[in-house]
């Protein structure tokens, strides 16, 4: 039973390029959460999605960032026109519909470096 | 005031001692509380959760919750060098969403 799968593990982008981060939830999980961890900081909530629906995007920057979780395929966190300040570890977590909030499993993360 | 506050440490304890990690939160309506462990360069790993006032024990770990004081703690008994990591306190501010508010984390160093 595979855990939450994130890819790529490491991603290097030049300033101005686009970054696409993928997250495949655990089998049977239909809820996905994205968090960002800047260097030497704690995790910050970004967005909570269910299949084909954004539930809570209160932590998403207003510009350049978007997320989706289509009916088929992984959840995608997309960052357009990346800047140096986007360099961080991005973690995805998933949970089943009936699970209480918060006790979820994180993927291994994508470490984005903007050069 | 930060929503979830932790002392960043490092907290240094000798091997075999009890490590005590503390966390306060500002939202009095918070429903559930979590402790995650994060090794350097790795993803956070859930080690304890607690919903009700009092103590909850799991092996060498005890989580303590005091909602009146808005205080959560994690005790690690018989600390081992392998417990050296950053411990993240997380709070779910509402039972209606899965959103977690994390503290900055406390770095624990267990010295052999």
pLDDT tens sequence across A86-107: 999 999 999 887 655 567 889 9
CA A34 to chain centre: 4
Contact between chains at A101 and B97 (C-beta distance less than 8 A): yes
Question: Is any Cβ of chain A less than 8 angstroms from the Cβ of B9?
Answer: no
pLDDT digit string, tens, across residues B12-51: 999 999 999 999 999 888 889 999 999 999 999 999 999 9
Of residues A1 and B105, the one with the higher pLDDT is B105
Contact between chains at B42 and A108 (C-beta distance less than 8 A): yes
What pLDDT is attached to residue B112?
93
Residue of B43, B93, B95, B96 to mutate, testing the A interface (most A Cβ within 10 Å of its Cβ): B43
Report which of B97, B96, B92 is spatially closest to residue B3, judged by C-alpha positions: B92
Contact between chains at A95 and B105 (C-beta distance less than 8 A): no
Count of CA atoms in the C-beta half-sphere (13 A) of B4: 27
Contact between chains at B99 and A100 (C-beta distance less than 8 A): no
- The structure tokens 């001692």 sit at B17
Question: Is any Cβ of chain B less than 8 angstroms from the Cβ of A44?
Answer: yes
| DSSP for residue A100 | P
Length of chain A: 115
Distance CA A96, CA A104 (A): 9
What pLDDT is attached to residue A28?
84
Check: CB of residue A67 under 8 Å from CB of residue A55. Answer: no
Nearest C-alpha of chain A: how many angstroms from B100? 6
Contact between chains at B98 and A106 (C-beta distance less than 8 A): no
Contact residues on chain B for A95, CB-CB shorter than 8 A: 98
* Minimum Cα–Cα distance from B95: chain A residue: A101
Write down the mean pLDDT value for chain A: 92
Question: Is any Cβ of chain B less than 8 angstroms from the Cβ of A20?
Answer: no
Question: Is any Cβ of chain B less than 8 angstroms from the Cβ of A9?
Answer: no
Of residues B85 and B97, the one with the higher pLDDT is B85
């Amino acid at each position: 039973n595979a855990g939450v799968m994130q890819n790529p593990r490491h991603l290097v982008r030049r300033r101005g390029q686009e970054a696409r981060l993928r997250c495949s939830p655990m089998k049977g999980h239909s809820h996905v959460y994205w968090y960002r961890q800047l260097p030497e900081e704690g995790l910050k909530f970004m967005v909570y999605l269910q299949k084909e629906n954004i539930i809570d995007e209160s932590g998403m920057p207003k510009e350049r960032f978007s997320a989706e979780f289509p009916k088929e395929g992984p959840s995608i966190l997309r960052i357009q026109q990346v800047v140096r300040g986007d360099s961080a570890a991005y973690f995805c977590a998933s949970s089943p519909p009936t699970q209480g909030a918060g006790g979820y499993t994180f993927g291994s993360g994508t470490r984005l470096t903007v050069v | 005031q930060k929503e979830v506050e932790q002392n960043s440490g490092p907290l240094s304890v000798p091997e075999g001692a009890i490590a005590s990690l503390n966390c306060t939160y500002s939202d009095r309506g918070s429903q559930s509380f979590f402790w995650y462990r994060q090794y350097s360069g790795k993803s956070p790993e859930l080690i304890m959760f607690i919903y009700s006032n009092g103590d909850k024990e799991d092996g060498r770990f005890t989580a303590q919750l005091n909602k009146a004081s808005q205080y959560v703690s994690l005790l690690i008994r018989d600390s081992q060098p392998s417990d050296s990591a950053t411990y993240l306190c997380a709070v779910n501010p509402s039972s209606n969403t899965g959103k977690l508010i994390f503290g900055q984390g406390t770095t624990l160093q267990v010295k052999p």
